[in-house]
Amino acid sequence: MTALIEVRDASVRYLSTGQTALRGTGLTVGPGDLTLVSGPSGCGKSTLLRLVNGLIPHSYRAEVTGEVLVGGRPVAGQTIREVSSVVGTMLQDPRKQIVGTTVAAEIAFGPENLGLPREEIRLRIDEVARRVGISHLLDRATASLSGGELQMVAFAGVLAMRPKVVIVDEPLANLDPAASLRLMAEIRRFTDEGGAAVVVEHRIEEILPFGPTEVLYLEEGAPRYQGPVEGFLQVAPVGHVKLPFATLVSRAAELPTVPMIRRSVPETSTPRLSYQGVSLGYGERTVLSDIDLALGSCERVAVLGPNGAGKSTLLRAAVTLVTASRGEVLVDGSPIAERSVLSLATTFGYVFQNPGQALFSATVGQELAFGPRNLGMSPEEIAAESEKALRAVLLDGEKDIMDRPPRTLSFGQQRRLTVALALAMRPRTLILDEPTAGQDLHTTTEFMGHSLAARSVESVYFITHDVDLALTYADRIIVVDQGGVAADASPAELARDTGIWSRAGLAATSLVRAVRDHLPDAGSIPHPFDLARRVSLLAPSTPSPKEGTTPS
């Protein structure tokens, strides 16, 4: 059967930076294939996708060697329109491909450009909205949607074009577990019906139940593994890829030691951030109602919940990006309305889910200097804080990083840069919205550790869909759902509350099940690597099961 995508010994060097992003890479994708592409942040995954969807060479100036065929024809000899009739793409940042003012208009955009009749377009809108579970959003303005909702809308727009291949870049990064399962089920259904898919993802465990036919693992732009899943689980770098817990147990001897940061900063009696009968929303739409909540001055708090439930809205109130329509928000015991912008900026370092909202300067150095300069820091202080911030987010080793335009960094690197911008202003509390989306496991482990250990940072509140991240790094987990706080508990308590997992659409990962099976009802949860070592000592002869069952 003719391959839909063929990449033969391809290498890519971007002319804007002079950097070689891909070396000697090959990929063949045919009908029925679901190919998983993984690797560290900045390893060339997105570059590979740009080769097969025509963005290279049509939108990115690059020197390309090797062959890239789509539908049996060289990509360079096709127009973007011709390539898009074969390949549909969901980008890592959905905001970069959303053009419609409403969800229905966005889904209609592609079919309209194909010149399809109005009735056919209407049928496609209804069909794909129903398939991906967004029928209730069709009349909503795209500007009012959460990042996860936008991701599902972008995927619906791809399906409406009826391509032969779908390529999705980090599809789980902004999606709650229920939406992740729904999206991956649709990708699997698409391939089962004769299509093909290429999925770029760090969270390997969550892709395995959907039966990828091949894994391509890249490091430093070159293939390090290409073959079946079973072989990959045996050789995947355990410190860099999120693997099932049973695989960690079977490879316990290879697990690196990860120091857990437990700071001994004394908690004050006054909460850093508190909500008293607060209702929050946008215009006439109320998102959260009657919130009574207090977040400590020295706590690590994770916020979980479905897409669109109000997680970001809750914490945006800390920096007056949204104001209460009822009730009162307090910062260190004082009404937030009485706090100046400067005071809030030194109290909270707020990191947006979308790095594009924070990056506007010509170079990384200028980005890092902007906030500290407005706080009155000297050039020497700015240089010192910039260096420490880059080191904390693992960007200090990037060549000529201070002179690089921020937009030339990978999406994952841009996310880490926005954390560095916050750290450079020496905030007492970091607020991170999906901080680890686009990050490999090693980067997540390192930069979460550095962020939590930063000298000026007393507390960290972070929004995430990564349940394992919340269990590992939080002292306390808050679940937001149905317009309010659905749960507020320690990680160990939440792991055992099976009711909240089903009610709030959460998914019990293999780590959640391991916590239930091997840890007491209370107390802190060790790093997954430490827990896996403990379990391996209890049952050293237990073989690693073949992973691939659907998570509960």
Q: Which residue has the higher pLDDT, 117 or 42?
A: 117
Share of the chain above pLDDT 70, in %: 96
Please check the confidence at residue 136 and state whether its pLDDT lies above 80: yes
pLDDT per residue over 100-114, tens digit each? Answer: 999 999 999 999 988
pLDDT digits (tens, 9 = 90+) for 195-219: 999 999 988 888 999 999 999 999 9
Where would I find the H helices in 243-351? 245-250, 311-316, 341-347
Q: In this predicted structure, what is the pLDDT of residue 269?
A: 79
- Residue 88: CB atoms within 10 Å: 25
Q: How far apart are alpha carbons 492 and 504 in whole angstroms? A: 17
Q: 550 pLDDT band (50/70/90 cuts)?
A: very low
Task: Output the pTM of the full model.
Answer: 0.84
What pLDDT shows up at residue 541?
Answer: 52
533 pLDDT exceeds 50? yes
> Residues with Cβ < 8 Å from 505, sequence gap 6 or more?
176, 177, 178, 179, 306, 481
User: Looking at residue 326, what is its pLDDT?
Assistant: 96
Reference 5, options 23, 36, 26, 20; nearest CA is 26
pLDDT of residue 531: 95
pLDDT band at 406 (very low <50, low <70, confident <90, very high): very high
pLDDT digits (tens, 9 = 90+) for 475-501: 999 999 999 999 999 999 999 998 888
- pLDDT of 261 reads 64
pLDDT range class, residue 551, cuts 50, 70, 90: very low
Confidence label for 516 from pLDDT (cuts 50, 70 and 90): very high
Structure tokens at 381: 């202080």
Q: Report the distance separating Cα 98 and Cα 106, nearest Å.
A: 7
**Which residue is associated with the tokens 């979460």?**
448
Neighbouring C-beta atoms of residue 549, cutoff 10 Å: 11
pLDDT of 548 > 70? The answer is no
State whether the Cα torsion 182-474-425-455 is positive or negative: negative
Mean pLDDT (the chain) is 89
Average pLDDT (424-429) is 93
Range name among 170-184, 358-372, 380-394, 538-552 with the lowest pLDDT average? 538-552
pLDDT band at 539 (very low <50, low <70, confident <90, very high): low
> Residue 279: what pLDDT?
97
Give the dihedral sign, CA 339/343/348/354: positive
Contact 150, 94 (CB under 8 A): yes
pLDDT at 542: 45
What is the pLDDT averaged over residues 147-152?
86
Torsion from C-alpha of 495, 499, 502, 505, nearest 10 degrees:
-60
> Which pLDDT belongs to residue 24?
96
CB atoms near residue 305 (< 10 Å):
24
Q: Is the pLDDT of residue 157 over 70?
A: yes
Residue 265 clears pLDDT 60, i.e. is over it: no
Span of 15-19, 227-231, 329-333, 362-366 with lowest mean pLDDT: 15-19
Name, in order, each residue with C-beta under 8 angstroms of 415's C-beta and a sequence gap of 6 or more: 355, 434, 435, 437, 438, 439
Token pair belonging to 345: 């900026």
Does the pLDDT of residue 543 top 90, yes or no? no
| 24-50 pLDDT per residue, tens | 999 999 999 999 999 987 789 989 999
- All structural domains of the chain, each given as residue ranges with its CATH number in brackets, are 5-86+163-249 (3.40.50.300), 96-161 (no CATH), 273-538 (3.40.50.300)
How high is the pLDDT of residue 545? 45
The stretches of 37-96 forming alpha helices (DSSP H) are 45-52, 55-58, 80-84
Contact 213, 33 (CB under 8 A): yes
User: Do residues 504 and 486 make contact, with C-beta atoms less than 8 angstroms apart?
Assistant: yes
Q: Is the dihedral of CA 529, 530, 533, 538 positive or negative?
A: negative
Q: What is the pLDDT of residues 234-252, one digit of tens each?
A: 999 998 888 999 999 999 9
